[in-house]
Each structure stands twice: as structure tokens, then as C-alpha cells.
Amino acid sequence: MKKILISVGKLIGVHFVEENYVAPVFRLGIYRRVCGPGLFWVIPILESVGQPVKIGIRFTSLKVPGALSSDSIPIDIDLQIFFRFDPERTQRRIAAQFVRLPDRVLADIAKGYADSFLREVVANFTAEDICSRKAVARIKRQLSRILTDRLAFLGYVIDLDKGVLIQAITASPEFQQTMLDAKRYEVTLRVLNAYQAADVDQALYAELVKSLAKSDGSMFFSLAEALNFPKSVRGNGH
């Protein structure tokens, strides 16, 4: 019964499109407008309806390999782009082409622009900031803003806050090892700084005393006096 009603409706120009979709309408094969969601009417014979176009949220995943940081370190970034395509937000001549494209091609267009723009954004940050995720929020925000501004003419809409999701950031093994070594040095310096300066001096004096004690005694005491060692240290030598 439902199929019969749909067929009868189409004969008189009545069509239906589901929520989050619009239908492109062509007059004598030339794109004119989009209609929907819901019921809409077209002129029978003169106008025809194309395949529904999704205007709801879409997403696509991509991997951007070898994006160079400001200090020329290659970074691999995995991310997802969330976007909508709305034919009514672009010029008719552009919409006429894009409403005919399959979903895969629309996603590939977004991926191509995202790859190029992400490389531009990453070049503004150091590899250390990127890999330590200090700059991730700023990268996401900047990329979302650039995609919004530069893809608007194609009818793409990207949320500034939730349009980009960075899933993974990977640097070269050599750079990762350098970062690990730097962390180790940082921890070592913190441990050394935790000691009082006098304690460090006392330890150094003690090591020097042990070395000099193995040599001539007169040389030891003359050096101790010349270096103004604490009396407690000089006293230990008697």
C-alpha cells in the first residue's frame, strides 16, 4: 500500500525526503534548488528529483604523515573531521556539481583540504609542544577555523569546537628518544637542586680530600688552606 501511495504521489509531483536529507530538483536536467526534509512538490514531467543529499553530520578519518614542525621535525598526526554539507550555503553552479557527488567524494574533498591546512598549522609549533600535547587544543581550534573559513564557499560547515578530533600524534623514534633523554636530565637536575648547596660543597670537599690524602700530606694541608676548606674538613686530615 505504501509503495502504491508513493508511486501515485510521484505521478502528481509529490515527493518525500527523510530528516537530515534534502533532495536536489532539476528542471529539464538543469539544477534549480533543493527541497526537504519532509514532503515537497515539483512540476511533473518538467522537473525531476535526484538522489537525496545528506545535510546531517558526517565524519571522515585521515592520517597526515610527515607534517613539519617549526623546528623541522616530521610529525605524523591521526585525526577525524566532523562536517556538514549544505547545498544552500554555496553558489548554484557549485551546488549543481556537488549534489551529484557520492558521499565518498565529498569526504575526500574534506580530507584533502584538512591535510593541507593541518600542515600549515603544525608549522607554527615546535615538535616538543606538539608531542607533549601542550599545543593540541590550539592546533584543533586553528584548523577548525581555517577549514570553516576556506570551505564555506563549497557549502561545508565545520563546528569550531567539535569539528576536529586529534586521535594520535607520533614523532620519529630518534626524536622520541631525544625527548626521553631530556626528561631524564630534567629529573636529575631536580634531584640535585633539592639538596642544599652546602651539602653539595661538603660532598665535593670530601671527594677531594680522599684524593689528596693518597698523596703527600704536606701537599694536602697546603691545598686545604689555599682553598679555605672548612675547619671540620681540614681537621679530619690530622
The whole-number pLDDT of residue 219 equals: 45
Of the listed ranges 8-22, 99-113, 133-147, 154-168, the one predicted with least confidence: 8-22
Q: Is the pLDDT of residue 220 over 90?
A: no
- Regarding whether 150 and 86 lie in a shared domain, the answer is yes
Which of 13, 33, 51 is at the close of a domain?
51
Would you tell me how many other CB atoms lie within 10 Å of the CB of residue 187?
10
Phi first, then psi, for residue 108 (nearest 5°) are -65, -35
For 165, the domain range is: 58-172
The whole-number pLDDT of residue 237 equals: 47
- Regarding whether 112 and 69 lie in a shared domain, the answer is yes
- Regarding whether 159 and 68 lie in a shared domain, the answer is yes
The whole-number pLDDT of residue 131 equals: 83
Would you tell me how many other CB atoms lie within 10 Å of the CB of residue 4?
8
Q: Is 52 in a helix, a strand, or coil? A: coil
- Segment 7-16 shows an average pLDDT of 79
CATH number at residue 62: 3.30.479.30
Which of 145, 172, 199 is at the close of a domain?
172
Q: Is the pLDDT of residue 58 over 90?
A: yes
| Those residues with Cβ within 8 angstroms of residue 179's Cβ, 6 or more apart along the chain or in another chain | 128, 131, 171
- Regarding whether 130 and 31 lie in a shared domain, the answer is no
- Regarding whether 97 and 33 lie in a shared domain, the answer is no
Q: Is the pLDDT of residue 98 over 70?
A: yes
- Regarding whether 135 and 33 lie in a shared domain, the answer is no
- Regarding whether 73 and 46 lie in a shared domain, the answer is no
- Segment 58-66 shows an average pLDDT of 95
Which tens digits make up the pLDDT trace of 111-151?
A: 999 999 999 999 999 988 888 878 899 999 999 999 999 99
The pLDDT mean for the chain works out to 82
Q: Domain tally for the chain?
A: 3
Contact 220, 237 (CB under 8 A): yes
Q: Is the pLDDT of residue 26 over 70?
A: yes
- Regarding whether 106 and 162 lie in a shared domain, the answer is yes
- Regarding whether 98 and 124 lie in a shared domain, the answer is yes
- Regarding whether 188 and 142 lie in a shared domain, the answer is no
* Spatial distance between the Cα atoms of 138 and 135, rounded to a whole number of angstroms: 5
Return the higher-pLDDT residue of 172 and 88.
88
Question: Could you tell me the CA-to-CA distances from 5 to 11, 35, 114, 166 in Å, in that order?
Answer: 10, 20, 44, 47
The whole-number pLDDT of residue 86 equals: 95
CA-wise closest residue to 43 among 16, 17, 14: 14
- Segment 67-73 shows an average pLDDT of 91
Would you tell me how many other CB atoms lie within 10 Å of the CB of residue 88?
11
Which of 122, 141, 172 is at the close of a domain?
172
| Those residues with Cβ within 8 angstroms of residue 166's Cβ, 6 or more apart along the chain or in another chain | 77, 78, 79, 136, 139, 140
DSSP state for residue 163 in the 8-state scheme: S
The whole-number pLDDT of residue 31 equals: 96
Q: Is the pLDDT of residue 170 over 70?
A: yes
The whole-number pLDDT of residue 177 equals: 64
The whole-number pLDDT of residue 234 equals: 45
The whole-number pLDDT of residue 101 equals: 95
The whole-number pLDDT of residue 233 equals: 46
DSSP states along 96-109: HHHTTS-HHHHHHH
